[in-house]
Every structure is written in structure tokens, then in C-alpha cells.
Amino acid sequence: MDSLNEQFSQIYDQYIDKIYRFVYLKVGSEEIAEDVTSKVFIKGWEAFKAPSEPIKNPGAFLYQIARNAVIDHYREKGRAKTVSADDSPEIIDPGTNAQDMAILSADINQVKKGIQKLKKEHQDIIIWHYLEDMPIADIAELIDKPAGTVRVMLHRGLKDLKEIIQES
């Protein structure tokens, strides 16, 4: 196995579960998530072996491909995104502050349903930060926004989520 294959194999091993989980939360079906995730890594491999410019952050690069692949999936299917709250993994991070923990420790089904009602970017940021344990700086790079903006978006998303949970 040559060096390029070995490098991408390590990237694959490091990110396969994270990318699959992200896609699954967006599509709500194991079969579709597997298909979309495989497309993500095929596109990632094609870009990795023939880069027009070096890929500085493979994780951010793969998440961007995953975001676009999910969008493409829904465009192709022409249907609204739905995720079954019963099938989604739990989204609780023991490292959150007390207020965030209170929001996220509410009935997990309410949290899952509430996340579906948030703006798409807020959903992504909450999933990446709390489920994938992605630092704010990495999220900022991924969505091409300043870290301060990402923090505000995360805070706003959590505030909206709290309001949605309290209303239900």
C-alpha cells in the first residue's frame, strides 16, 4: 500500500463513525446514511488523491462534503428532511456548563424533536459541538465564519432549543 493510500486510510478510520453519525442525524435512515457516507468518502478520496490545493483540515473537508451530500440527497428525493426522534442517538455532553446541561438533559426525545425545529446551521453547530465534540474553531473553519459568530450561533441555537422544549 502506498503512502497516499495509507494516509487516506487513517483519515477514513478517524472520521467514518463521525461522518456516518452526522449524516444519520440528518437523514434518519441507516440505509440512506450508509449510502450518503460512502459517497462522502468516495468524493473525499478523489479530492485527496488529486488535490488542486492541499487539504489542510481533512475533518472539516469531509464534513463539508457530507453537508453537501445530504443537501443533494434531499434535492434528488424532493422531500422534506425528517428524523425519527426514537431512532436518533442521545446528544448529551458531560463537559457542558450547567445551563447547557440542563437544556440537554431534558427529556431526550424533546431535545431530538426540538433540534429538528432549529435552523439548519444551528442544528449542524449543535451536533458538531455537542455530539462530535468539535471545537468552535474547527466549526468556524468548516462553515467559513469567525469563531465569535459560531459561539453566538451556538448560544442562539441552544436558547431556541430551550424555548422549543419549554413550549412542548
Listed in sequence order, the residues at least 6 apart from 72 whose beta carbon sits closer than 8 Å to its beta carbon are none
Look at residue 132 in the predicted model and tell me its pLDDT.
Answer: 82
3-state helix, strand, coil in the chain (%, to 5): 75, 0, 25
Closest CA to 102 of 165, 49, 31, 157: 165
CATH 3.40.190.80 fits domain 98-167? no
pTM over 0.95: no
Within this chain, domains 3-77 and 98-167 share the same CATH topology: no
Helix (H) or strand (E) holding 98: helix 98-104
Closest CA to 57 of 143, 116, 119: 143
* Average pLDDT per block of 10 residues along the chain, 168 residues long: 82 93 85 93 90 81 92 77 46 51 59 82 88 88 91 91 83
Q: Domain ranges in the chain?
A: 3-77, 98-167
- 3-77 maps to which CATH number? 1.10.1740
